[in-house]
Amino acid sequence: MYFSRIMSYYYSIFCVVLFLSNGISLASSIEDQKRDKISRLPGQPENVGFEQYSGYVTVNEQNGRALFYWLTEAPLSREPNSRPLVLWLNGGPGCSSIAYGASEEIGPFHIKSDGKSLYLNPYAWNNLANILFLESPAGVGFSYCNKTEDMHTFGDQKTAEDAYIFLVNWFERFPQYKHREFYMVGESYAGHYVPQLAQIVHQRNKGIIYPIINFKGFMVGNGVTDDYHDYVGTFEYWWTHGLISDSTYKMLRTACDLGSLQHPSAQCLHALTVAQSEQGEIDGYSINTPPCNETSSSLRRGLNGRYPWMYKAYDPCTERYSDVYFNRPEVQKAFHANVTGISYAWKACSHVLWNYWSDSPLSMLPIYQELINDGLRIWVYSGDTDAVLPLTATRYSIAALKLPTVINWYPWYDNGQVCGWSQVYKGLTFVTVRGAGHEVPLHKPREALILFRSFLENKHMPSSS
């Protein structure tokens, strides 16, 4: 009896200490959130009806690496507290999720051509979920390293580990999102970022009954997936869409060793040069739309040097508007950005990261197989007018997984029109978006929102006209 009383006494003390420490932690997180809350962005429309936050989360104290985020919550009228949290990542490697995902694709605001004012995106994804945009890795956009040499050692693994540390620390700052349903979505080279980060989160959640990061699944669009199939599918797409000649197609298949294209031979590079010449001045990221009349940066949401044909990036001119807007001092102040006085101008993509990128695995398919086997929700989508990471490349990669088909290829509709096609496999859903380029939400925003809703609800694409 005496022992039980003693244990009860100490347990009571422990509970009080835990309560007080949690109270201190909660008070600290509330202060951090207040600091990060955006009162109003320059040029922002009136009465937007949702809350937004932005700021820095340190991921490495020793080297001074900090990642910049922008959270756009669901409108108050749509009960954001009941909505899931979705992380959005753009690729590159080295390109900004703020410049692309937020500012020209799925974000609530798009930038007008004056580079000063914003307008509401009626198909913003925060209508359905709380969207967290992350500039990753450090050195992208407003994210930074205090050690310049640190940016010369980035690759896939370091990026994934930093992103995981960011999430852990971010959830401490925003404890109201702990245990909330959490998803990841990304495009282009985020075809590497998303599965790799998903694998880390999933593995570290194992054995935890009620995980803080309540990870449910991910979706990847026009993503880098598997080098061999990306090359086979890309060459085939060029040929079947009349972008290159029969002889050049044969030359590409002969000269390019599809098993080791991270270091293409001189013959392969020559074949690629011929292919580029035959394609002419088209927009490889959206072959059915004209490029912007003015030339902007040659490095955008493109991919690293393993894809030599990807030097021309899609330019609907919106990137130039971002370059103006995010370099304005009043904008940076409103975003709580550039607090350390970065010595270089904000850019949509980092050439330094691009040039020094180190590790990049040949295939994401083993990770897909692992996460499919563990029952995560996985969707893959493709805009069918992208010649950089085309539909055919993704189909070859999915076929390599050898998944049983649950629902065979079928058209999906909106307003009586065929918007694309879908096939449901055991453990993976594949969706195409008709007439969309590399950035599906940029070209087909309404269809992209329908796709996003179907993914969140885990429902098949609408099959009735």
pLDDT of residue 308 exceeding 80: no
Residue 423: what pLDDT?
98
Cβ atoms 113, 318 nearer than 8 A = no
pLDDT of residue 19 exceeding 60: no
Backbone φ and ψ of 286, nearest 5°: -160, 85
Higher pLDDT, 299 or 42: 42
Average pLDDT over residues 124-152: 92
The DSSP result for 332-375, as a single string, is HHHTT--TT--SS---SB-HHHHHH-----SBSHHHHHHHHHTT
Distant-in-sequence, close-in-space partners of 10: CB < 8 Å, separation ≥ 6? none
pTM: 0.89
Residue 188 annotated to the active site = yes
pLDDT of residue 74 exceeding 50: yes
Active-site annotation holder among 188, 286, 382, 454:
188
pLDDT of residue 117 exceeding 70: yes
Active-site annotation holder among 156, 162, 226, 386:
386
Ramachandran assignment for 48, one of left (phi > 0), alpha (psi -120 to 50 degrees), beta (any other)? alpha
Cβ atoms 138, 150 nearer than 8 A = yes
Active-site annotation holder among 110, 202, 229, 438:
438
